[in-house]
Amino acid sequence: MGLSRLVFTSTQDNILEALGCSPGSLGHVAGGIDTHTAEQMVAKQCSITLPRIAGNYYVSLLDECGGHTKEYHFHERLSCLYTTAAGSTHSGQVGKMNDGKYLYGKWEDSTANQLPLLDACGGHFGTNPDSATVVYHYHVQEKAPFTLGCFGPVTQSDGTYKLVTVAECRALYSGCGDGDETTVVMPTESKTYDYWCPCWDASGSNAGTAELPVFSSGAITTIPATTPATTTITTAATTTPTPTAATTTAAAAAAAAAATTTTMITTSTTPSPILSPTPSAAAKVTGSMALSVANPAAFAADPVAKQGIKIGLATHLGIPSSYLEVTLTAARRRLVSSAEEEELRRRLAGSVSVDYTITIPAGASVSSESVRTSLVSASSSSSAKASLASAIVSAVNTAATDAGQSTYTVTLETVAEPSPVISVTTTPTPTTTKLNNASSAARTGCTIFPCSAARRRLTAAAALAITAGIFILAA
151-182 pLDDT, tens digit each: 999 999 988 999 999 999 999 999 999 999 99
More confident residue, 12 or 265: 12
User: 170: how many CB neighbours lie within 10 A of its CB?
Assistant: 23
Q: Which range in 101-110, 231-240, 329-338, 415-424 is most confidently predicted, on average pLDDT?
A: 101-110
Report the number of distinct structural domains present in the chain.
2
Whether 10 shows a pLDDT value over 80: the answer reads no
**301 and 380 part of one domain:** yes
Banded pLDDT at 226 (limits 50, 70, 90): low
pLDDT digits (tens, 9 = 90+) for 118-148: 999 999 999 999 999 999 999 999 999 999 9
**179 and 218 part of one domain:** yes
**359 and 231 part of one domain:** no
Identify whether 123 is part of a domain.
Answer: yes
CA 237 to chain centre: 25
On the question of a cis peptide bond just before residue 198, with omega within 30 degrees of 0, the verdict is no
> How far apart (Å, rounded) are the C-alpha atoms in residues 410 and 92?
31
pLDDT (average), residues 62-67: 89
Q: What SS3 class is residue 82?
A: coil
**161 and 297 part of one domain:** no
**234 and 334 part of one domain:** no
Banded pLDDT at 242 (limits 50, 70, 90): very low
Identify whether 331 is part of a domain.
Answer: yes
More confident residue, 52 or 12: 52
**420 and 447 part of one domain:** no
**400 and 451 part of one domain:** no
More confident residue, 272 or 395: 395
More confident residue, 318 or 465: 318
The β-bridge partners of 433 are 272
Banded pLDDT at 281 (limits 50, 70, 90): low
Identify whether 298 is part of a domain.
Answer: yes
Whether 406 shows a pLDDT value over 80: the answer reads yes
Whether 243 shows a pLDDT value over 60: the answer reads no
Half-sphere exposure of residue 284: CA atoms within 13 angstroms, side-chain side: 10
- Which amino acid would we find at residue 274? I
**173 and 296 part of one domain:** no
pLDDT digits (tens, 9 = 90+) for 407-459: 999 999 999 999 998 887 544 433 333 344 443 333 333 333 333 322 333 33
What is the length of the chain?
475
Identify whether 376 is part of a domain.
Answer: yes
Identify whether 214 is part of a domain.
Answer: yes
Banded pLDDT at 46 (limits 50, 70, 90): very high
pLDDT digits (tens, 9 = 90+) for 191-224: 999 999 999 999 999 999 999 999 999 999 999 9
**288 and 228 part of one domain:** no
Identify whether 126 is part of a domain.
Answer: yes
**328 and 195 part of one domain:** no
**96 and 160 part of one domain:** yes
> How far apart (Å, rounded) are the C-alpha atoms in residues 258 and 243?
9
CA terminus-to-terminus distance, the chain: 7
- Which amino acid would we find at residue 358? I
pLDDT (average), residues 354-380: 88
Banded pLDDT at 70 (limits 50, 70, 90): low
Identify whether 1 is part of a domain.
Answer: no
Whether 358 shows a pLDDT value over 50: the answer reads yes
Whether 253 shows a pLDDT value over 90: the answer reads no
Identify whether 4 is part of a domain.
Answer: no
More confident residue, 322 or 384: 384
Give one DSSP letter per residue of 180-225, joined into a string.
-EEEEE-SS-EEEEETT-----TTS-SS--PPPGGGGSS---EE--
Q: What angle do CA 199, 202, 208 make, to 5 degrees?
A: 60
Banded pLDDT at 229 (limits 50, 70, 90): very low
Whether 387 shows a pLDDT value over 60: the answer reads yes
Domain containing 91 equals 10-276+431-466
Half-sphere exposure of residue 307: CA atoms within 13 angstroms, side-chain side: 19
What is the pLDDT of the chain when averaged over all its residues? 76
**81 and 120 part of one domain:** yes
| Cα-based torsion angle of the residue sequence 219, 221, 225, 229 in order, rounded to the nearest 10 degrees | 170
